[in-house]
Amino acid sequence: MKTIATRKTALLIALLATFSTGYAVHDHIGLPGAHASSQTLPPVTAAPSRGAASIPDFSDIVAANGPAVVNISVSGTMKVAQPELPDFGDDSPFPDFFKRFAIPTPHGNGRIPKQGQGSGFIVSPDGVILTNAHVVADADEVIVKLTDKREFKAKVVGADRITDVAVLRIDAKNLPTVKIGNPQEARVGEWVLAIGSPFGFENSVTAGIISAKSRTLPDEGYVPFMQTDVAINPGNSGGPLFNGKGEVIGINSQIYSRSGGYQGLSFAIPIDVAMNIEQQLLSKGKISRGKLGVTIQEVNQGLAESFGLDKPQGALVSSVEPNSPAAKAGIEAGDVILKFNGQTIDRSSTLPALVAATQPGSESHLEIWRHGKTKMITVTTGELTDLASAADKSLTARGGKLGLAVRPLSPSEKRAAETEHGLVVEEVADGPAARAGIRPGDIIVSVDGHPVDGFDQLRSRIEHAGKNMALLIQRDGQRLFVPIKIG
């Protein structure tokens, strides 16, 4: 499972039970139509009995959908941190010494074998499968196993790291499929169940309720997660979340946990978000997201009173990017966005996902609050190239002339680094950059004195460089020039 760790402390509790008090998010664990199954199951209802509801029977849902849930095994390599060793020079015998004793050096590739398991589900009878992007990340081989024990080598059609959705395809026909539901109709307190392969136990079923909707997690602002108390464990990644009608309404993705296992907080990617990614990857091979070009913040009670709102609501615009779609439409700092294309913005975290889901170049209608009055503004949505295509740009850059995978800095990263320019290094492969000591996390500010802000700009500078070039990088708040030999 993908893990976002927080502070961990230990607390000994009586009755022989030992728990850790820290929390972590573990395990970052596709539209109806041709993909939808024609089979419709009756709703699962709980018959009242003296004021109490009985637990529903999910057996029909499991029998109908279990064959469409698959186990995914991956193998490949992953990059590991290398020790801080000096550059011994070309004539030194020490690099051979470290290589002989299997100690990574600055010239080594710093990669180790990786194996993992996850879950997925079939959305098209011709072999299209949805899972999590992190399940297949860095995979050299992906094997899909069906419930009838057949195994297929899968092709990764595409993966979107931002939403953590991946699309696979296997060479098979007439496969069982799931029925796609509408997560917008899901209600808090509604029964849901998950089918997956926790800890490798294939087609395990767990059930619970929807605890909340439209949750925003750290660094996950473009997915309005559904929170449930369904037991989700390592290996459930990418498996389906069903409603009581036997429809998939989410992809199980993350858990909050004390121990790495189920603790009652799990999160699922709404299936409409996933199916949008699936359609774009299958039709265009890439992901496009809408952009306004604003920085927003939450409206609390004090701000609501200051702006004359009757209650805390909406997304407060704290800044507007120059020449952005928002700036061209007349949106100003201090505006409070109350609705986006008719959908109410109760919390600021709701807005990014709605904007990202719009097609670049389309018109979006905003209801804003300005100077004590509501105002309607129409915006021609731009394309979120600085973040939406970051994963694709990184993959394109890998193995290039420098051996770097890079992405643009987000606005918050620029503020933290106190820079207006730069590309952050995501990965360093074998090549000139690795030999020069460039590390993941470094910010490339300029090339030969020319500031860089985008991947294409960096590539152009590299192509026009001679045998030597100088990168100005920022590392731990300090800037230094790094000479690189590329001849």
Q: Which residues are part of the catalytic machinery? A: 134, 164, 237
How many Cβ atoms from other residues are within 10 Å of residue 49's Cβ?
8
Contact indicator for 189, 204 with CB cutoff of 8 Å:
no
CA pair distance 184, 445, nearest whole angstrom: 43
CA pair distance 257, 269, nearest whole angstrom: 18
How many Cβ atoms from other residues are within 10 Å of residue 369's Cβ?
21
Check residue 392 and report its DSSP letter.
H
Helices (H), 56-147: 59-65, 94-100, 133-136
Within a 13 Å sphere around the CA of 370, how many CA atoms are in the beta-carbon half?
14
CA pair distance 450, 467, nearest whole angstrom: 17
Q: Letter for the amino acid at 104? A: P
- Cα distances (Å, whole numbers) of residue 388 to 159, 162, 163, 287, 407: 12, 7, 10, 7, 10
Rounded to a whole number of angstroms, the CA Rg of the chain reads 25
CA pair distance 422, 445, nearest whole angstrom: 4
- Cα distances (Å, whole numbers) of residue 142 to 149, 155, 253: 16, 7, 19
Q: 275: helix, coil or strand?
A: helix
Bridge partners (DSSP) of residue 18 are 12
CA pair distance 214, 461, nearest whole angstrom: 42
